[in-house]
Structure 1
Amino acid sequence: MRDVCIVGGGVAGLAASIFTARAGLDTLVIDSGGRTPPNSRTQSSDGSILERNASLENYPGFPDGVDARRYLDLTREQAQTAGTTIELGRVTRVEPVDESDLEAGFVLETEGGEPLDARRVIAASWADSEYLVPLDVGRIQRGSKHFVSVDDAGRTAVDGIYAAGRLANEPHQAIVAAGHGAKVALAVIHDSDANFYYDWVASEGYFTGRGREVPPGCEEISDEERRKRDERARERMLEAFAEPLDERPTMHPSVEQD
């Protein structure tokens, strides 16, 4: 049984997976159709809405913007580097393993694939939430879409079920979705009794030089290691941006195509 199954391979789900995987939780993302997921449970092909974005212009760190699909590919790569497993598929139904004991986890039915088991589920699948209907998490209909009611940390009315990003009624912005996905992941980490996650890499002696132990989720590194990591990061980014992406973004399904 997985510790965490995240339904949705957009920025909210991937950001959540980076945090949960790095905190040591066995994390699976079910992506409904991104560019490069390694395995398949269905022939679905809609994927993250960022696949439709021609240029991502308001994400911090990119002064002149960035191709949204390239950003999404790099985020997927980061999630996998953190230890996340990504599979292509569509979840059709989620139910408790034991109605009387939600701590026993949940069964996720998939279209064209075997069922999955997970102790906790993060729904990050805007705009699909039909698979949550059996759980009565509190779906709110607005027009043709449904949002999921959550608390400040992304917890739903059902223990062990969370929602992140636009599905949780967050603003429709990539940076907000990423931040909310991370916030929800921290709630999952807390509820899983994993060590508190700081994600703080400090220079050697930052903690130990003051007679303190290095906190869980933190790390001290030498100047030599810092330079190695910086060099590796720069080389990867230069490689990633060496050539333009020639394919056009995915058009909205309602637009007529020749």
Structure 2
Amino acid sequence: MRDVCIVGGGVAGLAVSIFTARAGLDTLVVDGGESILARNASLENYPGFPNGVDARRYLQLTREQASEAGATFELGHVTSVEAKDATNFEAGFVLETEAGEPLEARRVVAASWSDSEYLVPLDVGRTQRGSKHFVSVDEGGRTAVDGVYAAGRVAGEPHQTIVAAGHGAKVALAVIHDSDANFYHDWVVPEGYFTGRGREVPPACEEIDDTERRRRDERARTRLLEAFDEPLEEVPTMHPSVERE
């Protein structure tokens, strides 16, 4: 049984997975195949990219970051989620997919805009607006069912990449808190930041010396230079209602 199963491999789901995996939770992302962000021609309002960034490149790097954090991925569509024990949600959940063996997880995060039909058996509190359904959540992304969360657009958040990423991180912190993982803050700080004040390094924090800081910086710069060395050949995915020649 996984600690966390995230349904949806878009921005919100990837953000959740980075934080939960780094917190030491066994994290699986069930990816439906393509994020809606892949329709974006140029992502130009995400902090840190003064001239914008190719949306598919951003997704590629974010997925890579989640993998390096320890998250694993499975391609497929979840068709239903049910509690293993309807009287005790702590027993976890069973996720049925279109193909393959059922998956089990202690906690489930819905991050799958715009599909949430698989949540119907749980009665989490879905609200219809036009042709879409949103999942009702509290400020931490918790639904009416203990152990089930929703992140990003499916949770009613605005349709912006930076908001989806931020909400995914916020929901991840709620998941981490509810799991009782030994966690304080996800910080990497200079050597002596805590110990220099007579404190122990808190859980999920790390102190590194300047040599290690420079090594990590070099590794990060090298990877980004490689990633942006050549343009991606992939083109944006058009909206399904638009015919393309």
Q: 1:207 aligns with which of 188, 194, 199?
A: 194
SS at 1:187 equivalent? helix
Deviates more, 1:244-253 or 1:152-161: 244-253
Does the 8 Å contact 2:141/2:174 carry over to 1? yes
Does the 8 Å contact 2:7/2:30 carry over to 1? yes
SS at 1:73 equivalent? helix
1:239 aligns with 2:232: no
Partner of 2:213: 226
Partner of 1:42: none
1:127 aligns with 2:104: no
- Change over 3 Å in CA distance of 1:215–1:178 after alignment to 2: same
| Residues 160-185 of structure 1, C-alpha deviations (whole Å, 9 max, x = no match) | 00000000000000000000000000
Partner of 1:14: 14
Partner of 1:252: 239
Q: 1:185 aligns with which of 148, 152, 172?
A: 172
Q: What is the Cα-based RMSD across aligned positions, in Å?
A: 0.7
Q: 1:50 aligns with which of 31, 37, 48?
A: 37
TM-score (norm 1): 0.94
Aligned pairs for 1:1-258 (under 5 A) are 1-33=1-33, 47-258=34-245
| Residues 12-43 of structure 1, C-alpha deviations (whole Å, 9 max, x = no match) | 0000000000000000000100xxxxxxxxxx
CA positional deviation for 1:69: 0.3
| Residues 187-209 of structure 1, C-alpha deviations (whole Å, 9 max, x = no match) | 00000000124111111111111
Partner of 1:39: none
Does the 8 Å contact 2:44/2:53 carry over to 1? yes
User: In 2, distance between residues paired with 1:131 and 1:63?
Assistant: 39
TM-score (norm 2): 0.99
Does the 8 Å contact 1:30/1:89 carry over to 2? yes
| Residues 35-77 of structure 1, C-alpha deviations (whole Å, 9 max, x = no match) | xxxxxxxxxxxx2111111100000000000000000000000
User: In 2, distance between residues paired with 1:169 and 1:216?
Assistant: 32
Percent identical: 82
SS at 1:108 equivalent? strand
SS at 2:225 equivalent? helix
Does the 8 Å contact 1:199/1:217 carry over to 2? yes
Aligned length: 245
The code of the aligned residue for 1:105 comes to G
Unpaired runs of 5+ in structure 2?
none
SS at 1:198 equivalent? coil
User: In 2, distance between residues paired with 1:15 and 1:197?
Assistant: 18
CA positional deviation for 1:251: 1.1
Does the 8 Å contact 1:98/1:105 carry over to 2? yes
User: In 1, distance between residues paired with 2:142 and 2:112?
Assistant: 15
| Residues 224-257 of structure 1, C-alpha deviations (whole Å, 9 max, x = no match) | 0000000000000000000001221111111113
SS at 1:189 equivalent? helix
Does the 8 Å contact 1:20/1:189 carry over to 2? yes
The code of the aligned residue for 2:211 comes to E
Does the 8 Å contact 1:186/1:197 carry over to 2? no
